[in-house]
Chain A
Amino acid sequence: MTTNGASPISIERDVAFGHGGAIDLRLDVYRPPAGREKRTAVIQLHGGGFRRGSKDSLAANCRLFAERGYVAIASQYRLLDQGPWPAQIEDVKAAIRWTRANAASLGVDPDKVAVAGYSAGGFLALAAAGAPNDASLEGSGGNAGVSSAVAACIAFYTGGGRSLREDGASEAETDVMRFVKPGCPPTILLHSTGDSTVPFDASVGLFNAFRAAGVAVELHLFEGLSHVFDRHPEFAAPSVEVCDLFLDRHVVEPRAYPPFVAGVARPG
């Protein structure tokens, strides 16, 4: 997986991208090997129930995305003890705006910014995807006026935002279904059936809701593993591979696949 060949990925750490209240927000940029660039950024959001975690935990998956040609951006956001909801989504939106504002120097197309989140980060990814340029969630972290829309959303083992409500946020503000609506960008959901931290029904419910809303949606349910199943490298690799295939056909080089016509030989 992680190969350091002639042209390795390059990593730039702790780049300041904005402010969350009085806190300097930072991100890490993982650039793809030369010659493999897909000119698409994937902003990565860590898990930890909005109370723990850091962008450092995203290193393995960021490398996998970068090796496949993406500019992977591991972004910080304020945890609940640093700011109540909606501080978290404000910071994510600041990261999206920063990425778009800096698209040229990052080597990406400003229209090709996707977001990927894990657990609590998945909730933030869905919220960012479903509420672009929403004045009540944009915050004032930097790059005001730049669009915070994303071209696609990746959500690993995402729940419904319960931790936010335990912290006092309202149901109306933080029900994840609030962010599922027609016009949402293409979304891919990954979960394991053995997850007892966030049962996989959450992803099935999201899949059904996106389908009903007419949004392009993909669902992968890996059997029998617990939360954060992709910490096992043999599951991280195919997970990132299906995400790559998904992003490639929806964002990098949008294309449709023709229906099957019975009796006609396969192409090629």
Chain B
Amino acid sequence: MSGNESVRAEKDVVFATADGIDLKLDVFRPPAGVTEKRAAVIELFGGGFVRGSKAGHYEGVFQRFAKRGYVAIAATYRLAAEAKWPAQLEDAKTAVRWVRENAGRLGVDPEKAVLSGYSAGGQLAIVAAGTAAPEERVAAVIAYYPSRFGRSAEGKDFPVMPEGASDAEYEAAEPLTYMGPGFPPTIFFCGTNDVFAAPTKRLFEALHEAGVPAELHLLAGLPHIYDRFPEFAAVSTELSDLFIDRYVVNPREYPAFRAPQPAAAPS
């Protein structure tokens, strides 16, 4: 991904050490001249918990959030080869705690930390938000084609799960488990040709049903990781910004529509 001089990046900040592994994150600050929103967007990459990194895939997305006034944080978490679930969940929540603890120097409000994730990162974001201790709380979630997993048809454990994991452990890693009252406002994205389209829609419906603000964008004919195509990344960031802006940055209500009588017309 090409760099952008205007976004101020601070790379490879160690936010924790787990089992001898340094966990690092990158901080992207809004360029000078952009109104700072004093909100952090913590980004979790995808890759099925077996691959991926904060470095390559999504820097463009982080830059876009930073350009819109957010402090974007690309966090890392241990992959399956390094540690089994719930190590990933612990790392994600550790990143949230770090952001909240360092809110002052990051220039954000600790109550305005948002978790955002892609595929496995989306699943991680949801489960982290759904199991957060007070010091790990996030104000909203952005979930791109969040994944879910279970045992294989032959009963083999999913690669990131410890061998012989119980049904309860799988249930605890399932995003749908957390779609209930008290979950933070969430915006969901998925392409309709993505295997996670139906599960994403179900998450939205369950969250809406629970009375939690929830927004859904299902883009026709697009495959998994549709935002690798820049035109869709741009509009998705714009929609996320609008959602985060009105639920976190500057909470506000919009007046209800009233049908005009009788001359002046609605749209």
Q: Within 8 Å CB of A258, what residues of B?
A: 223
From A186, A224, A226, B257 is in contact (CB under 8 Å) with: A226
Chain A nearest CB from B25 CB (Å) reads: 21
In the assembled complex, the Cα of A232 lies from the Cα of B253 at a distance in Å of: 12
Decide: A219 and B267 in contact? CB cutoff 8 A: no
Assuming the contacts A220-B216, A259-B223, asked whether A197 and B257 have C-beta atoms less than 8 A apart, the reply is yes
Residues of B214-267 at the interface with A, using a CB-CB cut-off of 8 Å, are 214-226, 228-232, 235, 238-239, 242-243, 247, 254-257, 259-260, 262, 265-267
Q: Within 8 Å CB of A220, what residues of B?
A: 216-218
> Looking at A54, A232, A249, which has the most chain B CB atoms within 10 Å of its CB?
A249
Decide: A225 and B218 in contact? CB cutoff 8 A: no
A217 is an interface residue with CB less than 8 A from chain B: yes
Chain B, interface SS category: loop
Total number of residue pairs linking A and B with CB closer than 8 Å = 136
In the assembled complex, the Cα of A53 lies from the Cα of B56 at a distance in Å of: 51
Q: Within 8 Å CB of A47, what residues of B?
A: 265-267
Tell me the nearest residue of chain A to B264, going by C-beta.
A57
Residues of A219-241 at the interface with B, using a CB-CB cut-off of 8 Å, are 219-232, 234-235, 238, 241
B156 is an interface residue with CB less than 8 A from chain A: no
Tell me the nearest residue of chain A to B51, going by C-beta.
A263
Number of B residues with CB within 8 Å of any CB on chain A: 48
Decide: B262 and A52 in contact? CB cutoff 8 A: yes
Q: Within 8 Å CB of B260, what residues of A?
A: 52
Q: How large is the interface on A (under 10, 10 to 19, 20 to 34, 35 or more residues)?
A: 35 or more
In the assembled complex, the Cα of A221 lies from the Cα of B214 at a distance in Å of: 9
Assuming the contacts A223-B213, A228-B257, A241-B238, asked whether A259 and B224 have C-beta atoms less than 8 A apart, the reply is yes
A58 is an interface residue with CB less than 8 A from chain B: yes
Show 23 residue pairs from A and B whose CB-CB distance is below 8 angstroms, ordered by the A residue.
A52-B260, A52-B265, A53-B266, A119-B267, A186-B221, A204-B205, A216-B220, A217-B220, A219-B218, A223-B187, A224-B213, A227-B266, A231-B257, A232-B254, A238-B238, A238-B242, A242-B235, A256-B221, A259-B223, A259-B224, A260-B225, A262-B47, A262-B51
Q: Interface of A with B (CB < 8 Å)?
A: 46-49, 52-54, 56-58, 60-61, 118-119, 156, 186, 188, 193, 196-197, 204, 207, 211, 216-232, 234-235, 238, 241-242, 245-246, 249-250, 256-260, 262-263, 265-268
